[in-house]
């Protein structure tokens, strides 16, 4: 374990926002949404350490439709406007909290709660408002790491960020971040391949006019053959007949190509009661189709089947516990507050997703809770856990920061879908692509003479190059190739 160093303190001097539009290479259908184009909101934070040293950091995420807020009355443009408003409110809150140098944790603690209060005043749910806070949090961590020449794992090991887990959860009083993390960050991470609701399963499923000739796999069959995948995340729609037919196709393909595999089943809030989801699981478990029965056996957990308005309703505890006794259940979209995982555990859930868009410190606290609850359980009790899920994290900032965080937490397999739905690094500038090639030669491979793609080999990605000062990107982002937020318009998508 690294020797504990002094807590770094940083004052925020300037925050700027930029946009970059991206089009998908194929539609990404999840839940009630189908994504074909999306903006990436970038945030640059410039600050100053207590010793006067300059510090700059980045954070970024796509702004997707109908994930943070599924209100049917809101159009996609409204979803984007809400997320931008939350980010701008967080910038004001964090800058106010860090007028003078203070720890990342203290700034986050004040800024997070103030941003949620802004959301409450403006009708934004906490998942939306919290996303703004998460951007500022990541940029602060990136800035401190770069200025102090420490990787994210080193910042956590020495607690240079001043994180006080007990201030979040009394159960974790006195617990250091290093005590809830592995001794070393992972060097390789398994890819859990996302199978969206509109994804072709076999090559023959693709109409001739829809075949992509862009050098990347398209059908699930291609991915399994080309990348040696072993983990899969399969979306379900809530339509029993359609889901069973599609899962039968997926199971048949995996039986042909994979001797051993593991699956997470993602409901994306498509159920408003337990009975329909229980019926799906019962049909899978009792199926006379050997492939489908084996598919059920290989399910490692069930992700957020229930709509968030009912997912943490105590009246559904009986059904949640009945399902959890057979397959672990976790919350994803319902993880809108610091105590969400705690409330979920009380109802019978076993896990919670880690997504950078929901906050890094929050995930660390959830990791602490998972270890705390697991240590309290009986020998036969299923351990509590964090999973790694994706918000279509794209290179360079969102993907690198997400993988860096997952490696530090020791999450062995992580959903990845950005490399599937977007063609490599086409959306980046030539300078950013060249820097990725030079600094992350084991994370990417050449796709053609002009661009790169994520290098998935044997079902894994090599993330060792992300152990760089800061939060994983390791070089300057080309903000000149992006549009300043004040000049960007939704109509440009």
pLDDT cut 70: percent of the chain above it? 98
* Average pLDDT of the residues in 225-243: 96
Tell the CATH superfamily of the 178-466 domain.
Enolase-like C-terminal domain (3.20.20.120)
For the cut 70, the answer to whether the pLDDT of residue 3 exceeds it is: no
Question: Which of 39-53, 201-215, 372-386 has the least mean pLDDT?
Answer: 372-386
At 5 the pLDDT is: 63
For the cut 70, the answer to whether the pLDDT of residue 18 exceeds it is: yes
At 220 the pLDDT is: 98
Domain extents for the chain? Answer: 10-170, 178-466
For the cut 50, the answer to whether the pLDDT of residue 460 exceeds it is: yes
Bond prior to 396 in cis (omega within 30° of 0)? yes
**Structure token digits, residue 292:** 């489908």
Contact (Cβ atoms closer than 8 angstroms) between residue 289 and residue 248: yes
Q: How far apart are CA 391 and CA 138, in angstroms?
A: 15
pLDDT tens digits along 86-96: 999 999 999 99
Fold of 10-170: Enolase-like; domain 1 (3.30.390)
Q: What is the pTM of this model?
A: 0.97
pLDDT band at 378, cuts 50/70/90? low
pLDDT tens digits along 154-206: 999 999 999 999 999 999 999 999 999 999 999 999 999 999 999 999 999 99
Q: How far apart are CA 280 and CA 267, in angstroms?
A: 11
User: Which residues lie across from 457 on neighbouring strands?
Assistant: 460
What element of type H or E holds 452?
strand 452-454
Helices 240-257 and 274-285: angle between axes, nearest 10 degrees = 40
For the cut 70, the answer to whether the pLDDT of residue 379 exceeds it is: no
For the cut 90, the answer to whether the pLDDT of residue 62 exceeds it is: yes
At 31 the pLDDT is: 87
pLDDT tens digits along 252-273: 999 999 889 999 999 999 999 9
At 4 the pLDDT is: 58
Torsion of CA 446, 472, 232, 425, to 10 degrees: -30
């Amino acid at each position: 374990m690294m020797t504990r160093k002094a807590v770094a303190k940083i004052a925020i001097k300037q925050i700027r926002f930029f946009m970059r539009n991206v089009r998908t290479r194929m539609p990404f259908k999840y839940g009630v949404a189908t994504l074909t184009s999306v903006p990436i909101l970038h945030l640059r934070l410039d600050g100053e350490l207590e010793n006067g040293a300059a510090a700059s950091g980045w954070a970024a995420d796509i702004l997707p439709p109908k994930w943070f807020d599924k209100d049917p009355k809101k159009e996609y443009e409204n979803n984007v406007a809400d997320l931008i408003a939350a980010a701008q409110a967080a910038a004001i809150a964090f800058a106010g909290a860090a007028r003078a140098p203070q720890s990342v944790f203290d700034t986050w603690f004040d800024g997070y709660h103030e941003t949620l209060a802004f959301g409450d005043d403006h009708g934004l749910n906490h998942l939306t408002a919290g996303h703004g806070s998460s951007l500022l949090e990541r940029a602060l961590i990136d800035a401190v790491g770069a200025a102090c020449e420490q990787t994210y794992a080193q910042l956590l090991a020495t607690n240079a960020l001043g994180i006080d887990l007990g201030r979040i959860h009394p159960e974790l009083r006195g617990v250091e971040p290093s005590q809830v993390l592995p001794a070393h960050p992972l060097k390789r991470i398994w890819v859990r391949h996302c199978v969206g609701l509109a994804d072709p399963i076999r090559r023959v499923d693709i109409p001739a006019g829809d075949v992509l000739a862009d050098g990347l796999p398209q059908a699930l069959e291609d991915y399994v053959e080309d990348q040696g995948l072993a983990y899969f995340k399969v979306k379900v729609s809530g339509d029993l007949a359609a889901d069973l037919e599609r899962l039968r196709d997926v199971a048949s393909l995996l039986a042909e190509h994979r001797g051993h595999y593991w699956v997470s089943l993602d409901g994306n809030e498509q159920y408003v009661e337990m009975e329909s989801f229980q019926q799906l699981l019962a049909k899978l478990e009792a199926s006379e189709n050997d492939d489908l029965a084996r598919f059920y056996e290989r399910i490692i957990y069930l992700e957020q089947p229930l709509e968030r308005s009912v997912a943490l309703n105590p009246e559904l505890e009986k059904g949640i516990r009945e399902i959890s006794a057979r397959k672990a259940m976790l919350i994803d979209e319902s993880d809108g507050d610091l105590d969400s995982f705690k409330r979920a555990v009380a109802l019978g859930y076993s896990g919670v997703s880690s997504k950078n868009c929901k906050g890094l410190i929050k995930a660390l606290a959830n990791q602490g809770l998972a270890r705390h609850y697991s240590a309290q359980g009986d020998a036969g009790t299923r351990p509590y856990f964090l999973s790694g899920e994706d918000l279509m994290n794209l290179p360079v900032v969102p993907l690198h920061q997400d993988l860096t965080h997952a490696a530090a937490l020791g999450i062995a397999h992580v959903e990845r879908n950005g490399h599937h739905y977007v063609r490599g690094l086409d959306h980046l500038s030539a300078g950013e692509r060249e820097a990725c090639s030079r600094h992350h030669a084991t994370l990417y491979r050449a796709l053609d003479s002009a661009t790169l793609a994520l290098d998935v080999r044997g079902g894994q990605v090599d993330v060792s190059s992300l152990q760089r000062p800061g939060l994983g990107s390791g070089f300057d982002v080309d903000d000149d190739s992006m549009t300043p937020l004040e000049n960007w318009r939704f109509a440009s998508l």
